[in-house]
Amino acid sequence: MQDQTDHLYTKHLRELVAWAKGKPFVKKKLFLVESLAPLVLGLKPSVLLNVSLEKESEWLEFEELFTQKEAFRIKEIRELKGRLQVIFYQRETLDTVLRQKSIQEFLTKLSYPQNYSLDSYLNLLKHRITSLEFPHEIGVFLGYPLKDVMGFMGFLSLPYRRTQGWRIYGDETPSNEVYAKYRQARSTMRKLAKTNN
């Protein structure tokens, strides 16, 4: 079953690569798809990006293609200087991450609802992104290890190690494993871009 799911995700990534290669400003479109590769391959629960709105028709076409697989969703946050801030997410994966007991405890301390629902959490996150103070808890939505998010926010007194995709605190092993998976997904996308003509 997992192999079948992996195949569907790889097929979807291949379709997104083909879309990008058939458009003007190919490098820009391929960068968008590469940024989404860890999400599309089922390794990352969500991605926050600012998407160019040069041609609204292209964005609508991409949105339709991206969400043709029911698992994939898009939540538009706001428009900023001709760019659209968007959360791309895989509903089931993000839901699994946010339902973890440790993450629930962390988010409810930050005034997320006690009665969890994915939509209510995403709506509150959207509200916080558009408010004056950026919500650093977004790291858990993006799939960063909880210890790194809490370390960054000052909730855990862990030593800062380095920045590699995000700021890493304390034991580097789990962070390195997550980062390696994300890099591998981007590498897979680049290989597809070279072979997908």
Q: Could you state, in chain order, the average pLDDT of each consecutive group of 10 residues for the chain (197 residues)?
A: 58 89 84 94 95 81 90 92 92 96 97 96 96 92 98 96 95 96 93 76
Query: 163: Cβ–Cβ under 8 A, 6 or more apart, which residues?
Result: none
Euclidean distance between CA atoms 34 and 75, whole angstroms: 19
Q: Is beta strand 72-80 parallel, antiparallel or unpaired with respect to 83-90?
A: antiparallel
C-alpha count within 13 angstroms, C-beta hemisphere, residue 38: 20
Q: What is the pLDDT of residue 106?
A: 98
Q: What is the pLDDT of residue 56?
A: 80
Euclidean distance between CA atoms 125 and 119, whole angstroms: 10
Q: What is the pLDDT of residue 5?
A: 46
Q: What is the pLDDT of residue 85?
A: 94
**Whole-prediction pTM value?**
0.91
Q: What is the pLDDT of residue 195?
A: 80
- Are 40 and 5 in contact by the 8 Å Cβ rule? The answer is no
Euclidean distance between CA atoms 14 and 40, whole angstroms: 10
* CA Rg value for the chain: 17
Euclidean distance between CA atoms 146 and 161, whole angstroms: 15
C-alpha closest to that of 147 among 125, 167, 121, 122: 167
119 — phi, psi (to 5°)?
-65, -40
Q: What is the pLDDT of residue 193?
A: 86
Q: What is the pLDDT of residue 8?
A: 66
Structural domain spans, the chain: 2-195
Alpha-carbon torsion 89, 90, 93, 94, what sign?
positive
Tell me the angle at which helices 101-109 and 91-98 cross, rounded to the nearest 10 degrees: 80
Q: Quickly count: other Cβ atoms within 10 Å of residue 186's Cβ.
A: 16
C-alpha closest to that of 188 among 16, 22, 55, 48: 16
Q: What is the pLDDT of residue 53?
A: 63
